[in-house]
Structure 1
């Protein structure tokens, strides 16, 4: 298990990561609505969560569900979370890695990027899951895409994080994210917790890696070298 805490990479193209904060705020608001709103958890998950069997037409929900066209649940499920720990874990990854990926893209493209990764993750889960009747919820797929983009942009930046049962380590991104990805891969193919959409994580990661070269700001080799020298400089 790995939880990122801090990376220390300064923003170069913007003062405030507005899109990252907006997405975090939206997820928090959705969590509050799910557990403290008038509808209740089951109704919100049934109405906005993604159920593969419903998308494929092999199952029909009661009248009034889902709340939006079933195709839209590929995206609406991204903002729902099943527990406080689920929410905090995803938002911590988004907070640490999202600002620098947003800085490399701009506000609007970052939101589009996050949604595309999340939708791709939902589809990956839909085609591979052995339990298509179970709702999929959570930002993990979109967050996985952000993590992949960060790895490509800043592979050697050292990240503070907590490993296993709280061991603090300070390692380059290619180590920390590499270990995280290895865990996702092993869990997906060797039988991890069945309540977790491991293939959604892998799908989001793959699409994030494919999209970042297309959606980042125009590459400037002079600026890139300057940034690399700054990041390598001793504190």
Structure 2
């Protein structure tokens, strides 16, 4: 299920959304070598990805997590570990991971920013990302595996969009060939349901790898944070402007 676009024009240029997209791309290319150099990619994930066990100190120092033949991430007590809930938001594991996150931020971020203003939106985005990270650490406190990706923060944007624009139509691609024009509430509830269903076996401790290596409960935590925080961060004056502009776009029949 991939969003393509929405019927929800913005009133102002979504500068922060563009800057976040640029930051994700620059980090991928400059810090992670665009995935072209395996060791550089692994080193970025090991050094700046978030490892729950390092934050909780519930994994022994020196434990190695295999990442490739003869290469492992080693649990340490470096000072930078406290920054990894933030730095991990800008790292990715591959092109598909990056582009998937970028599409969701591109489609939904601009309108949420348009209803909050730039500074508020940036704070909202980062707080949702930190809430997603905290959820993952809470549920996997002994995990030695580094996690990376903007998914948690972007999940918060989706939660905010759900409350702000539930009836907006979203063009959504359902692989392999189906394209539907569906209301945002349906698309986002289906997305949220997928995350919960994917994470239930992991939560029930049926299979530790049930999520396929994806921190799906971080997605859930970020989404819930977005739902809870959006009303605190929306700017009423910007919301009123959007409503007024929407009314002005309505075409009235002069003969009615």
**TM-score (ref. length: structure 1):** 0.88
1:133–1:145: structure 2 CA closer, same or farther, 3 Å change rule? same
Q: Partner of 2:132 in structure 1?
A: 121
Structure 1 unaligned blocks of 5 or more: none
1:190 Cα offset (Å): 3.7
Q: 1:49 touches 1:80 (CA, 8 Å); kept in 2? A: yes
1:232 Cα offset (Å): 7.9
**TM-score (ref. length: structure 2):** 0.81
Q: Distance in 1 between the 2:132 and 2:89 partners?
A: 9
Q: Distance in 2 between the 1:63 and 1:175 partners?
A: 43
1:58 Cα offset (Å): 2.5
Q: Deviations over 1:176-202 (max 9, x none)?
A: 111111111111114553311110000
Structure 2 unaligned blocks of 5 or more: 63-72, 203-209
1:86–1:66: structure 2 CA closer, same or farther, 3 Å change rule? farther
Aligned pair 1:43/2:61, yes or no?
no
Q: Distance in 1 between the 2:238 and 2:107 partners?
A: 24
Q: Which moved more, 1:220-229 or 1:207-216?
A: 220-229
From 133, 146, 149, the counterpart of 2:157: 146
From 185, 201, 206, the counterpart of 2:219: 201
1:221–1:3: structure 2 CA closer, same or farther, 3 Å change rule? closer
Aligned pair 1:30/2:11, yes or no?
no
Q: Distance in 2 between the 1:119 and 1:101 partners?
A: 18
Aligned pair 1:218/2:236, yes or no?
yes
1:223 Cα offset (Å): 4.7
Q: Partner of 2:57 in structure 1?
A: 57
Larger radius of gyration: 2
Q: 1:77 touches 1:136 (CA, 8 Å); kept in 2? A: yes
